[in-house]
Amino acid sequence: MTTYYNNKTCWITGGGSGIGEAISKKLADSGASVIVSGRDLAKLKSVASHNDKIFPLQLDVTDRASWEQAMSAVTEKFSSIDLVVFNAGSCKYIDLPDFPPQLFEDVFNVNFMGIVNGLHHIMPNMLLNNSGHIAVVTSSVALLPLPRAEAYGASKAAATYLIDSLRLALSETEIKLTNILPGFIDTPMTKKNDFPMPFMITSEDAADRILNGLAKNKKEIYFPRRFTWPLRFLAALPTFLNQLVTKRLKKA
């Protein structure tokens, strides 16, 4: 990993904390120039203080004008983008009988449209250079329907499908695409969860697994295996069988 990222230009969204922060620091330590983006400029500057190869850039992924301004700033400084990691995310749960459309819209605006907005600006640069790597941090929840995750899971499943579909469209180019489907990671977002989170790992561990997988050009990165492999197995079963298991989670 150390030599692979040397002299590459990498852009990380949702980089003010958690996985994005850990990825940004490890990339910079590996010799990459890193654009770290997020809404909280103070947090971004704190991340950037780790290494002078990290450049903080305020960005709201749900705002197209914000993307336009950010892209303009990036292209002024860098001729190409070698890697973009769409990591910005939002998680909100559903508690029936409430089924609020605004909650779905808010979650999708970050987890799905935030990627679409970014691709609109970044993909032309990669196509022009016929190079680059697009990675999206989705979630293992996209593998299997889980209780209360109707909005979050649907948004992550949509993002997963988007990248899988786009990989086909870009198959004649040198652009690489990767879906990252982690289990539970110790981040500020998961600290808000009010349920057990088995096999949780640190953001630093997650960043290592992600960067090692990207360096190997993996199309999908699952971790930790002891959590994601059972989910993948259940997802391969007929619906009535896997729902027998997931219904028990609702009662837990």
C-beta of residue 14 within 8 angstroms of C-beta of residue 38: yes
Give the start-to-end residue ranges of the domains of the chain: 9-251
Percent of the chain exceeding pLDDT 70 equals: 85
φ, ψ for residue 231, nearest 5 deg? -65, -40
Residues 6+ apart with CB under 8 A from 49: none
Give the per-residue pLDDT at 247: 62
Query: What's the pLDDT score for residue 252?
Result: 44
Contacts 24+ apart (CB under 8 A), 93-98: 93/148, 93/149, 93/151, 93/152, 94/148, 94/149, 94/150, 94/151, 95/148
* Dihedral sign (CA 211, 212, 215, 217): negative
Per DSSP, the residues of 111-170 read HTHHHHHHHHHHHHHHHHHT--EEEEE--GGGGS--TT-HHHHHHHHHHHHHHHHHHHHT
Question: Model confidence over 183-218: pLDDT tens digits?
Answer: 878 777 666 766 666 667 899 999 999 999 999 999
The full DSSP string for 20-46 is: HHHHHHHHHHTT-EEEEEES-HHHHHH
d(CA 24, CA 36): 7
Buried b (16+ CB within 10 A) or exposed e, 208-220: bbbbebbbeebee
Q: What pLDDT score was predicted for residue 201?
A: 87
Contact 78, 130 (CB under 8 A): no
| Secondary structure element (H or E) that encloses residue 241, with its range | helix 239-251
Judged against a pLDDT cut of 50, whether residue 3 lies above it is answered with yes
Question: What tokens were used for 222?
Answer: 């699952």
- Report d(CA 177, CA 163) in Å as an integer: 7
Fold of 9-251: Rossmann fold (3.40.50)
**What tokens appear for 239 in the block?**
């619906």
Q: What is the pLDDT of residues 108-151, one digit of tens each?
A: 999 999 999 999 999 999 999 999 999 999 988 888 777 888 99
Query: What is each CA distance from 79 to 75, 128, 144, 186, in whole angstroms?
Result: 6, 11, 40, 35
Give the pLDDT score at 237. Answer: 63
CA R_g for the chain: 18
Instruction: Read off the pLDDT of residues 20-51 as tens digits, 9 standing for 90 and up.
Output: 999 999 999 999 999 999 999 999 999 999 99
